[in-house]
Amino acid sequence: MNKTLRTFLSFLVTLLTPVFLTLLGIRILLTPFFPVIEYRMPNFPADIFGFTQEERLEYAQVSIEYLNNDAGPEFLGDLTFDDGSPLYKTREVSHMLDVKILIQVALNVWAMAFGALILLGIVAKLTESTHAYFKGAQRGGWLTLILVATLGIIASIDFWTFFAEFHHIFFEGETWIFEYSDTLIRLFPMRLWQDAFIMEAIIVIGGGLALALGLRKIVQEE
């Protein structure tokens, strides 16, 4: 492989790395283990409307399962409390459908980025361009750290504004705003989203550092 193609391969790896690491963090958070950990965090706010920790965990895990499966909105719409009243209002179910669509797109992009990195790795191996591949991965690690640091600074200044602007980008109007008494807010209060952002940052920073520092010796060998 000539120098131009090696440079292009390395450039692609650099761009794909932050995408893969960022969405990997989201994939990890979309597991039943996140609420198990989160609801047991020190000073996590109790539900003032009466959910026990066990009820919260049960309902939250079902909600996360919905985001990961192929079921339609009736999966949540048919859920009821013991008295027969719906667990989620129609507006909440509609928003969860919007979230599910966004999540599915994100996970598909993650899978494609992962597949592309594997394919590029195979090409690099076959064309004796592994150094270019590792160099691209290392730069991708640094790029990831820069992006996370930038978003972290913005979020730390005013998390609510950061949270609101994120929703304005991906969701229409105020379809994502609910009453404190609604099930979505009772299960997923702002504290949970703040902790989720921190955990996402830890996962992504860990991956970025592993590549940026772990590959340094390999990259410097040539």
Report how many domains make up the chain. 1
Q: Which pTM does this prediction carry?
A: 0.90
Burial class (CB in 10 A: 0-12, 13-18, 19+), 23: buried
Residue 219 has a pLDDT of 82
Query: Would you mind telling me the total number of residues written for the chain in this entry?
Result: 222
How far apart are alpha carbons 58 and 63 in whole angstroms? 9
Per-residue confidence band for 222, with pLDDT thresholds at 50, 70 and 90: low
> Tokens in use for 138?
């290392």
DSSP lists the bridge partners of residue 86 as 80
Residue 217 has a pLDDT of 83
First to last CA, the chain: 16
Which range marks the domain in which residue 143 is found?
A: 3-220
Collapsed DSSP state (helix, strand, coil) of residue 138: helix
Per-residue confidence band for 82, with pLDDT thresholds at 50, 70 and 90: confident
Residue 218 has a pLDDT of 84
DSSP of 64-94, one letter per residue? HHHHHS---THHHHT-B-TTS-BSS-HHHHH
Residue 53 has a pLDDT of 93
